[in-house]
């Protein structure tokens, strides 16, 4: 049975009050902090008045007199401030925030617990009301409230001025993790399966193109047979051949029409399924602000406790983030802010002496970058002196003085992520227990992210966190290892490159290559994954993983390209599989395992420590020049970018590739060379692709040469024109993928070497 999203009849008045109170508490907290910073006083006070009045009215309806008392006293203080009879300074803000905290506690209580709470907290409530009522006469610091439970952080709920819908009330009343989350996960799995099925149409359409080529060859043979029979003069056979030819001719336009229909269906299915996935993902997303709205209050209170003046600025509040990720990183961000306040920020006098403003600034900035979520936490405090880290490394027995002296600043910063590593000499309530960056790194790594820190001694400290936008969809690099597809999260990949045989060196029975002044140790993925010994190769496809001393070049058989994968958890029956994080489906529907990069790095360390690491490159196994024929391909395109991209892609698969800038240049090269395949664009100066293909089919020497057209023109009539002139394959650039081109080339001429 479906429910009207605006039907609130199923919720009690207390449920509705909880929802409204949560929003108003957040509004009051944010407004008071803005008021303290001196931003738009008149407008802020007006908003605070409305919030206090609204929560007072709602509390009166549900019979929560304690909230009515608190909100009424708060409203009186705002009225006095609006009239100019009260100037709210930090002490007054403290009093009002104390009242807000009490309202927040009431809003989270069940009816059964309410009476006991009011009895226990009555002295604190009376003190808060009295303090707010006497704010107008305050000339000294506000009276301290009786000790009680610590001020709670308001839970992220709906915006204060929003009309509460049934879904929002359900979310507020339901336990954490219940509600729409699990339903959205199920929808995402179904939507992803729909997208995979849509992409399967591409393979079907490719098979139709092959069938069309076979049909064209058959029709040509029938025409030749008809001509031979006509030359023989046998009237009976000629009549039968004419009948067969007439019956076969309608097959050509029939197939062309159905191919066009199938391609249209494919485009529509892919578009609809992709939009469906996007919409389901949107259900899991929320603004970045929902996870950090409580931080300004925390920073303000903690700074006052430490005797410091600090403001927190948040940028990118509207950036959409996966709710699951936001919930997990809230605690690490809290650690970073506390470290910045306690370790990094100086007292006002110290800042002034250093030529800095007394008010320090911490900044949290969120943005989307390269399909990832980038979060930066920076402050303009004292930073970290690398020499102190160097001394701590030696003092804690983590390295010798000589080793520590040789470490760069970036390498020294890596020690801050070690469990229990702290530069704080004494343990305090806030920091000094060695808890902080190691927790941050652990949580970020669990979500396929990365974290790094930078310090400018005396000036600033910055922590950069990179995470996937969602845990449901992972942008991954797909590779081939021993004939199987595996995926690596892009966030964990430092770079991808090919390494020639003569660039590989061996030292102490380990193979490595040098790039930009750094050494990269070579490790065969087939051995790490226990798939056997790698096959000999003259050139290596390499994926660089890890950072610092734990950076390795993982050797794979081939790089298939990037894909956005919908992550599917493995059956709990399997337990935790070594080196494997999850499963997924590729665009063609085939399964792929998502590799666990931290696990991979541990496995590599184990191979190194036991001395059982194989050599990925077997020196001398490469074929001698000229010993094996390599298939040659001519790429003709007037776009330098497209031309070079195709050349590099094909060359990486071992083909020998030449390029031409237009049809005329290509025709001259075809006549002078010996090629196994022609890949050409259509729109080019001097001679276009259609003319080039026509000339190829008319020339006896090259007319059997396989021809592929790669063009932005994707209309059925464009495809028909290309295929009718004699092309064997038509590939649209608009739907171009690395694997599509490579598969088509393999289909036409086979592998690079016969």
Structural contact between residues 3 and 10, judged by C-beta atoms closer than 8 angstroms = yes
Q: Give the count of beta carbons closer than 10 Å to the beta carbon of residue 454.
A: 16
pLDDT at 376: 92
Q: 403 vs 125, 147, 400, 428, 549, CA distance in Å?
A: 60, 51, 5, 31, 13
Structural contact between residues 421 and 299, judged by C-beta atoms closer than 8 angstroms = no
Phi, psi dihedral angles at 425 (to 5 degrees): -80, -25
Structure tokens at 88: 């709210």
Q: Into which CATH architecture does domain 632-749 fall?
A: 3-Layer(aba) Sandwich (3.40)
Cα torsion 628, 631, 637, 642: sign? negative
712/186 Cα distance (integer angstroms): 37
Q: Tell whether pTM > 0.85.
A: no
How would you write 571-591 as a 3-class SS string?
A: CHHHCCCCCEEEEEECCCCCE
Question: DSSP label at 340?
Answer: I
392/398 Cα distance (integer angstroms): 8
468/492 Cα distance (integer angstroms): 11
Structure tokens at 502: 């003569």
pLDDT at 573: 64
pLDDT at 179: 40
Structure tokens at 265: 């269906």
pLDDT at 377: 92
Structural contact between residues 24 and 160, judged by C-beta atoms closer than 8 angstroms = yes
DSSP helix/strand/coil, 512: strand
Concatenating the DSSP letter of every residue in 350-375 gives HHHHTT--SSEEEEEEEEEETTEEEE
pLDDT at 425: 56
18/13 Cα distance (integer angstroms): 9
441/253 Cα distance (integer angstroms): 61
Structure tokens at 560: 């298939």
pLDDT at 330: 83
- Alpha carbon 114 to its chain centroid, in Å, reads 44
Structural contact between residues 366 and 375, judged by C-beta atoms closer than 8 angstroms = yes
Structural contact between residues 518 and 544, judged by C-beta atoms closer than 8 angstroms = no
129/3 Cα distance (integer angstroms): 42
Element (H, E) at 564: strand 558-566
Tokens 């051995």 — which residue?
527
- Of 454, 387, 389, 443, nearest to 415 by C-alpha is 389
Tokens 């336990």 — which residue?
175
Q: Which residues of the chain fall short of a pLDDT of 50?
A: 1-7, 137-182, 427, 429, 432-435, 619-627
605/550 Cα distance (integer angstroms): 8
Q: Which residues, listed in sequence order, are joined to residue 363 by a DSSP beta bridge?
A: 313, 378
465/443 Cα distance (integer angstroms): 11
86/358 Cα distance (integer angstroms): 26
Cα torsion 284, 288, 294, 295: sign? positive
pLDDT at 348: 92
- Of 46, 49, 52, nearest to 20 by C-alpha is 52
- Of 116, 103, 122, nearest to 58 by C-alpha is 103
- Of 291, 285, 309, 36, nearest to 153 by C-alpha is 291
639/19 Cα distance (integer angstroms): 59
- Of 742, 575, 565, nearest to 651 by C-alpha is 742
C-alpha gyration radius of the chain: 35
Q: Give the count of beta carbons closer than 10 Å to the beta carbon of residue 715.
A: 10
**Burial, 430: exposed, middle or buried (Cβ in 10 Å; 0-12, 13-18, 19+)?**
middle
pLDDT at 9: 53
468/567 Cα distance (integer angstroms): 12
Element (H, E) at 718: helix 716-724
Cα separation of the two ends of the chain: 64
Cα torsion 191, 193, 198, 202: sign? positive
List, in order, residues 6 or more apart from 582 with CB less than 8 Å away: 567, 568, 569, 570, 593, 594
Structural contact between residues 633 and 656, judged by C-beta atoms closer than 8 angstroms = yes
739/742 Cα distance (integer angstroms): 5
13-173: what fold? 1.20.120
**Burial, 405: exposed, middle or buried (Cβ in 10 Å; 0-12, 13-18, 19+)?**
exposed
473-610: what fold? OB fold (Dihydrolipoamide Acetyltransferase, E2P) (2.40.50)
Angle value at C-alpha 169, between 164 and 171, nearest 5 degrees:
130
Question: DSSP label at 241?
Answer: H
Where exactly are the structural domains of the chain? 13-173, 180-284, 288-467, 473-610, 632-749
Q: Into which CATH architecture does domain 288-467 fall?
A: 2-Layer Sandwich (3.30)
How confident is the model over 339-375, as pLDDT tens digits?
888 888 999 999 999 999 999 999 999 988 766 788 9
537/542 Cα distance (integer angstroms): 12
Q: Listing from the earlier edge strand, what are the strands of the sheet with 450-456?
A: 310-315, 360-369, 372-379, 460-468, 450-456
Alpha carbons within 13 A on the beta-carbon side of 78:
26
299/722 Cα distance (integer angstroms): 66
The residue count of the chain comes to 754
DSSP helix/strand/coil, 624: coil
- Of 751, 575, 530, nearest to 655 by C-alpha is 751
540/555 Cα distance (integer angstroms): 6
Element (H, E) at 464: strand 460-468
Structural contact between residues 50 and 28, judged by C-beta atoms closer than 8 angstroms = no
């Amino acid at each position: 049975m479906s429910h009207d999203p605006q039907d609130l009849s199923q919720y009690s008045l207390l449920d509705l009050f909880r929802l409204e109170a949560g929003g108003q508490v957040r509004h009051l907290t944010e407004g008071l902090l803005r008021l303290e910073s001196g931003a738009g006083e008149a407008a802020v006070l007006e908003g605070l008045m409305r919030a206090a009045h609204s929560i007072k009215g709602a509390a009166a309806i549900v019979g929560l007199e304690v909230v009515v008392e608190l909100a009424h006293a708060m409203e009186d203080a705002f009225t006095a401030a609006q009239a100019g009879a009260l100037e709210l300074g930090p002490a007054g803000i403290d009093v009002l925030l104390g009242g807000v905290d009490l309202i927040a506690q009431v809003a989270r209580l069940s009816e059964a617990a309410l009476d006991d709470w009011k009895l226990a907290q009555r002295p604190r409530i009376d003190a808060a009301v009295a303090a707010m009522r006497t704010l107008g006469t305050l000339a000294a610091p506000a009276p301290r409230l009786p000790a009680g439970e610590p001020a709670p952080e308001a839970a992220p709920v709906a915006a204060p001025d929003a009309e509460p819908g049934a879904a929002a009330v359900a979310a507020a009343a339901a336990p954490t993790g219940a509600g729409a989350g699990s339903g959205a996960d199920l929808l995402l799995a179904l939507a992803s399966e729909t997208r995979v099925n849509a992409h399967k149409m591409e393979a079907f359409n490719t098979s139709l193109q092959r069938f069309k080529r076979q049909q064209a060859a058959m029709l040509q043979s029938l025409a030749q047979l008809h001509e031979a029979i006509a030359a023989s003069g046998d009237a009976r056979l000629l009549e039968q051949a004419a009948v067969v030819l007439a019956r076969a001719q309608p097959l050509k336009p029939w197939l062309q029409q159905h191919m066009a229909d199938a391609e249209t269906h494919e485009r529509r299915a892919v578009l609809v399924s992709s939009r469906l996935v996007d919409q389901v993902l949107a259900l899991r997303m929320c603004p970045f602000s929902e996870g950090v709205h409580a931080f300004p209050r925390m920073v303000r209170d903690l700074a006052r406790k430490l005797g410091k003046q600090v403001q927190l600025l948040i940028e990118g509040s509207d950036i959409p983030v996966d709710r699951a990720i936001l919930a997990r990183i809230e605690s690490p961000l809290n650690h970073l802010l506390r470290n910045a306040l306690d370790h990094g920020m100086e007292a006002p006098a110290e800042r002034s002496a250093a030529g800095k403003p007394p008010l320090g600034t911490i900044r949290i900035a969120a943005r989307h970058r390269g399909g990832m979520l980038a979060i930066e936490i920076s402050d303009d405090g004292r930073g970290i002196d690398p020499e102190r880290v160097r001394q701590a490394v030696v003092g804690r027995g983590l390295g010798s003085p000589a080793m520590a002296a040789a470490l760069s600043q970036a390498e020294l910063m890596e020690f801050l992520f070690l469990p229990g590593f702290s530069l704080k000499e004494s343990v305090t309530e806030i920091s000094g227990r060695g808890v902080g960056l190691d927790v941050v790194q652990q949580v970020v790594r669990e979500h396929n992210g990365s974290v790094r820190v930078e310090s400018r001694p005396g000036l600033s400290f910055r922590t950069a966190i990179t995470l996937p936008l969602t845990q449901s969809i992972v942008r991954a690099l797909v590779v081939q290892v021993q004939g199987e597809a595996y995926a690596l999260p892009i966030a964990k990949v430092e770079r991808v490159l090919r390494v020639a045989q003569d660039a590989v060196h061996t030292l102490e029975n380990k193979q490595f290559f040098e790039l930009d002044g750094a050494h990269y140790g070579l490790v065969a993925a087939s051995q790490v994954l226990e798939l056997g010994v790698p096959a000999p190769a003259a050139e290596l496809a390499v994926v660089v993983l890890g950072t610092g001393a734990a950076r390795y070049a993982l050797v794979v058989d081939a790089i298939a390209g990037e894909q956005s994968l919908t992550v599917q958890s493995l059956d709990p029956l399997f337990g935790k599989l070594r080196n494997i994080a999850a499963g997924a489906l590729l665009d063609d529907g085939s399964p792929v395992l998502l590799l666990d990069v931290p696990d991979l790095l541990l496995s590599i360390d184990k191979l190194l420590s036991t001395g059982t690491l194989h050599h990925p490159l077997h020196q001398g196994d490469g074929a001698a020049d000229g010993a094996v024929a390599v298939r040659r391909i001519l790429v003709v395109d007037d776009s330098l970018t497209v031309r070079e991209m195709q050349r590099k892609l094909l060359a990486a698969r071992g083909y020998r590739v030449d390029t031409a800038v237009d049809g005329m240049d290509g025709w001259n090269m075809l006549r002078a060379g010996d090629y196994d395949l022609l890949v050409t664009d259509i729109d080019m100066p001097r001679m276009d692709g259609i003319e080039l293909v026509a000339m190829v089919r008319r020339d006896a020497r090259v007319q059997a040469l396989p021809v592929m057209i790669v063009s932005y023109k994707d209309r059925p009539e464009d495809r028909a024109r290309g295929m009718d002139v004699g092309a064997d394959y038509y590939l649209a650039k608009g739907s171009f993928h690395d694997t599509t081109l490579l598969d088509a080339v393999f289909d036409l001429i086979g592998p690079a070497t016969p």
